[in-house]
Structure 1
Amino acid sequence: MGEIGNYNEGAKKVDTHLFLFGGGPPMTEQLAGLFVDILKNTRGTITVLYIEREGSEAYLPNYTRLLKEYAPRLNIYHLPIDNQYTTDQLNKVKRSTGILIGGGSTSAYHKYIVTSELAAIIQERFKAGVPVAGFSAGALIAPRHCVISPKDNIQEITLYKKGLGLLQRGVISAHYLKWQEQKQLKNVLHETKEIYGYGIADQSGIYFKNQQLTTIEGYVHIENPSTSGHPKSG
Structure 2
Amino acid sequence: MVESNFKRQLVIIGGAEDKEGDSQILRDFVRRAGGTKAHIVIMTAATELPREVGENYIRVFERLGAENVRIIDTETREDASSSTALEAIHKATGVFFTGGDQARITNILKDTEIDAAIHKRFAEGAVVAGTSAGAAVMPDKMIVEGDSQTHPRIETVEMGPGLGFLPGVVIDQHFSQRGRLGRLISALILEPAVLGFGIDENTAMVVTDNQIEVIGEGAVTIVDESEATYNNMGEILKDESLAICGAKLHILPHGFKFDLKTRQPILNNSSVANVSVPVG
When the two structures are superposed, what TM-score results if normalisation uses the length of structure 1?
A: 0.80
Match of 1:170 in 2: 169
Which AA in structure 1 matches 2:231? H
Match of 1:230 in 2: 231
Report which stretch shifted further, 172-181 or 43-52: 43-52
Cα RMSD of the aligned pairs, angstroms, is 2.8
**Distance across 1 between alignment mates of 2:29 and 2:160:** 28
Of the two, which has the highest radius of gyration? 2
Residue 64 of structure 2 corresponds to residue 70 of structure 1: yes
Give % identity: 23
Deviations 1:34-64 (A, max 9, x none): 323223378462100114645x534334435
The 8 Å contact of residues 14 and 175 in structure 2, kept in 1 or not, is answered as yes
1:60 aligned counterpart, secondary structure: helix
* Larger RCO, structures 1/2 (Cα 8 Å, 6+ apart): 1
**Distance across 1 between alignment mates of 2:18 and 2:86:** 25
1:96 positional shift: 1.2
1:20–1:137 distance in 2 versus 1, CA, 3 Å? same
Match of 1:114 in 2: 110
**Distance across 2 between alignment mates of 1:133 and 1:228:** 35
Q: Which of the residues 41, 44, 47 maps onto 1:47?
A: 41
Structure 1 unaligned residues grouped into runs of 5+: 1-12
Q: How many residues align?
A: 217
Which AA in structure 2 matches 1:224? D
Match of 1:17 in 2: 9
Match of 1:215 in 2: 214
Structure 2 unaligned residues grouped into runs of 5+: 149-154, 240-280
The 8 Å contact of residues 26 and 63 in structure 1, kept in 2 or not, is answered as no
Larger strand percent: 2
The 8 Å contact of residues 42 and 97 in structure 1, kept in 2 or not, is answered as no
Residue 120 of structure 2 corresponds to residue 124 of structure 1: yes
1:118 positional shift: 1.8
When the two structures are superposed, what TM-score results if normalisation uses the length of structure 2?
A: 0.68
Deviations 1:112-167 (A, max 9, x none): 12243221111111111100101111111111212212259xxx863322222111
**Distance across 2 between alignment mates of 1:200 and 1:125:** 25
**Distance across 2 between alignment mates of 1:97 and 1:220:** 26
**Distance across 2 between alignment mates of 1:67 and 1:205:** 17
Q: Which of the residues 93, 99, 102 maps onto 2:98?
A: 102
Report which stretch shifted further, 170-179 or 58-67: 58-67
2:197 aligned counterpart, secondary structure: strand
